[in-house]
Chain A
Amino acid sequence: MAAVRADSAGGAERATLGTPDSRRRRRYSHDLIGWMFVAPAILFVLVFFGYPIVKNLTMSLQNYSTTTFFTGFAPWVGFSNYVTIFADPIFITSVINTALFTIGSIIFQFVIGLGLALFFKRHFPLSGFLRSLLLLPWLLPLIASAAVWKWILDQGSGALNQFLGIFGIAPVPWLVSPTVALISVIGVNIWLGIPFNTTILYSGLQAVPEELYEAASLDGAVGWKSFWYITWPSIRSVVGVVVVLGVVYTLKVIDIILGLTGGGPANSTQTLATLAYQKSFVQFLFGQGAAVSNLLIVVSLIFALAYLRITRKEVDE
């Protein structure tokens, strides 16, 4: 039945079926099988990701309170939740704190992470062991870390102030003073974020071919020059990924701040994320909490889109 044609590999298949109609049906059934495999995953994403986002949006336009839980009824109030939030004096403070927190965390996490990754590029005894130890902050449960750091940073009896006291430094009000509290919280978040940055950047550095360094050293480019002209351009895409993922994650950080200061002395460590939590789960004003978290989603979305553009460009290049 099959007339074997010698011109192409697919020719045998095409010869067996012959007509364009059956080719189309075959592709259709092929696609359908593919869709049926993906369907449960799509359903999962729609239910557990899509529905909460839509619900959050509608909740921000309603007067959603504790009463709604019992009666199931939440009256539409349009944008009044957003107006209330924007008029709240804490809102501006939260936005500024979120910006400072994110920028401060990312810069230092990245710089220290890159420094450590470059350091571990050279293989010395115990370097593997040390690198795995470096992962510890990332592996510990955040609430436990926050509790321990809260104790370490206590002004009177904390370990850090006792240590500084040896050098004659007066006790620093780490979590008590409004200005220092934000710095402390950023510091703990940097400690938390270093493992992620180091690991990703280290694997990015491994991908840079050794020959480039050898060739460069022949031309006299060593140390800083080799970093600037060889290493940095090669890992730029990895850097983009690390920074964008870091920003999207840091915007949402809430457990560290809640554990350390709960929003800080006099709202000095209140960020958009903690404000949303405060509004929804402490004051039970779910409509306003939803409004704040929608703003946070929009900001995260902008950075996520930036991430997609960076990686897409990579593929094209």
Chain B
Amino acid sequence: MRKSRINMVITGAAVFSLALGACSSGSGSGNSSGGKQNLTVEDYYIATYDPIYQDCATQVGVNVNPVHVAGAALIAKVLQQASSKTLPDVLMLDNPDVQQIAQTGALAPLSDFGVTAPAGDVPAVVTAGTYQGKLYGIAPVINSIALYYNVDMLKAAGITPPTTWDELRADAKKLSNPSNGVYGFAMSNINTYEGTWQFLPFFWTSGGDEKNIDTQGAGQAVQFVLDLQNDGSMSKSSVTWAQSDVNNQFIAGKAAMMINGPWQLPVLNATKGLNFDSVPIPTPTSSQKVVAPLGGETFNVPQTGDKTKMALAGKFVACLNSPAMQLKIAKVSGNVPADESSAATWAQSDPQVKSFVETVKTARARTAELGPKWPTAATAIYTAVQLALTGKATPAAALQQAQASNH
């Protein structure tokens, strides 16, 4: 009996130690090497940005460690890091997310480090990165969307690129060839924030407002997109297309015109035999300037608790946003420098981005009005567009239904 008791103790101890054996404690990463501080930069870019970070790291006098995360997973990772208090030293955020993350208290106001947005920056950049009067993030390069068109197709039909909604509607109809499966116009109306992003130029320019989307101006915008679909100028599948799908349709010659951004330029340029160009998105009347959404990512300084490193991170963010650095980043990313005069210089050297440079001047930040509450309005907007395009409701009724959940 004593033997069985000893057996029991040994068995128990062995089983428990097996269970605990799997646990291991992680160790923190090294902090400084050779006297220089190590800054972690977290973003969803690819390694082409590393030389840029290295450049600023040399200017500020730190070592930089870039961490690249997959695009869709960035916010989830940031939330994880916020709860485990392991936020990076410099954090890149897509501009509509800045106010929501700033609200959590995870970001430090840049004024703490004496950093302000460059004076020549487009105004929307400051609006996007500001929460409750304090600036948290600045975007060095920005973008928006414009109307790409197939030069050959338009020339064959004898049309010049449209500038107003009526022209766009007429041109798209002329360019459509249903027997060949060719549509005159393509855009993304998918049930994600991408669909909202593509619809905003129409929504805002005709007077729509995200606080209350059930207005006449918004109704006109929804009606316009519905008309394009009913005319047969836009495929009914647009409710399932993301911007990359729209780009594929354009490349395959199935769409004569499309709404897309400058990030597609590398792919479009690589397509043999595709003659394309772009103009700003048409407006309801010829006297208006298009109000398109502001795209682009900001750099922010999270609250890590390490005052020295945060100050250095502030300097790093300021370096990335200097006009000289903006031009370098524009070259690497294909986006437009946020500083207006740098952007004008940039347009001279790269004529393909001219319409984007033009558009961002009057671009609007998505979070300008609603701040952290933007996602609810964005959801309501794409829901309304989908209800109208799928025929489940008239444009007015669709907006009314969607507004019910916009609070």
Residues of A within 8 A of B (CB): 22, 25-26, 29, 32-33, 36-37, 39-40, 43, 65-67, 69-72, 88-90, 150, 154-157, 173, 175-178, 261-268, 281-284
Contacts and interface: CB of A to CB of B under 8 A. Distances in A.
A17 to B, nearest CB: 8
B246 to A, nearest CB: 13
Interface string B208-244: 0000000000000000000000000001110110000
Chain B, interface residues (CB within 8 Å), range? 35 or more
A89 B405 contact: yes
B105 interface: yes
Contacts of A25: 1
Contact of A265 (B11, B105, B240): B240
Nearest to B22: A40
Contact of B15 (A29, A37, A88): A37
- Which of B16, B79, B401, B405: most chain A Cβ within 10 A? B79
A71 B104 contact: yes
Nearest to B83: A69
Contacts of B236: 155, 173, 176
A39 B105 contact: no
A33 B101 CA distance: 51
Given A70-B105, A70-B106, A89-B401, A29 B386 contact: no
A267 B16 CA distance: 50
A70 B237 contact: no
- The list of the 8 closest CB pairs from A to B, nearest first, reads A40-B19, A266-B386, A70-B104, A36-B12, A70-B82, A67-B104, A69-B79, A70-B106
B237 A43 contact: no
Interface in B117-144: none
A52 B386 CA distance: 35
Interface in B169-221: 181, 190-192
Contact of B11 (A26, A33, A89, A177): A33
Contact of A33 (B8, B19, B80, B405): B8
Given A89-B401, A156-B181, A72 B386 contact: no
Contact of B383 (A157, A262, A266): A266
A176 B240 contact: yes
A66 B387 CA distance: 29
B237 A155 contact: yes
B24 interface: no
Contacts of B253: none
Given A70-B105, A176-B237, A43 B19 contact: yes
A249 B24 CA distance: 34
Contacts of B237: 154-156, 173, 175-176
B404 interface: yes
A283 B376 contact: yes
A268 to B, nearest CB: 8
Contacts of B5: 29
Contact of B191 (A26, A33, A264, A281): A264
B191 A265 contact: yes
B390 interface: yes
Contacts of A173: 236-237
B386 A22 contact: no
A71 B105 contact: yes
Contacts of A89: 401, 404-405
A178 B390 contact: yes
A26 B1 contact: yes
B65 interface: no
Nearest to A17: B1
Nearest to B181: A156
A88 B404 CA distance: 9
Given A262-B190, A262-B192, A263-B191, A66 B240 contact: no
Nearest to B18: A40
Contact of A66 (B100, B376, B404): B100
A282 to B, nearest CB: 7
Contact of A175 (B7, B240, B254): B240
A43 B23 CA distance: 14
B398 to A, nearest CB: 8
B390 A283 contact: no
Given A29-B4, A266-B383, A283-B376, 5 more contacts: A33-B8, A37-B15, A154-B237, A176-B240, A268-B392
B334 interface: no
Contact of B235 (A150, A156, A261, A262): A156
Contacts of B12: 32-33, 36
Contact of A176 (B8, B239, B379): B239
B65 to A, nearest CB: 22
B392 A178 contact: yes
Given A36-B15, A43-B19, A266-B392, A72 B100 contact: no
- Which of A33, A72, A89, A154: most chain B Cβ within 10 A? A33
Contact of B375 (A67, A265, A284): A284
B83 to A, nearest CB: 4
A267 B82 CA distance: 32
A261 B104 contact: no
Contacts of A32: 8, 12
A240 B7 CA distance: 44
Contacts of B80: 69
A149 to B, nearest CB: 12
Interface in B329-374: none
A12 to B, nearest CB: 16
Contacts of A263: 191
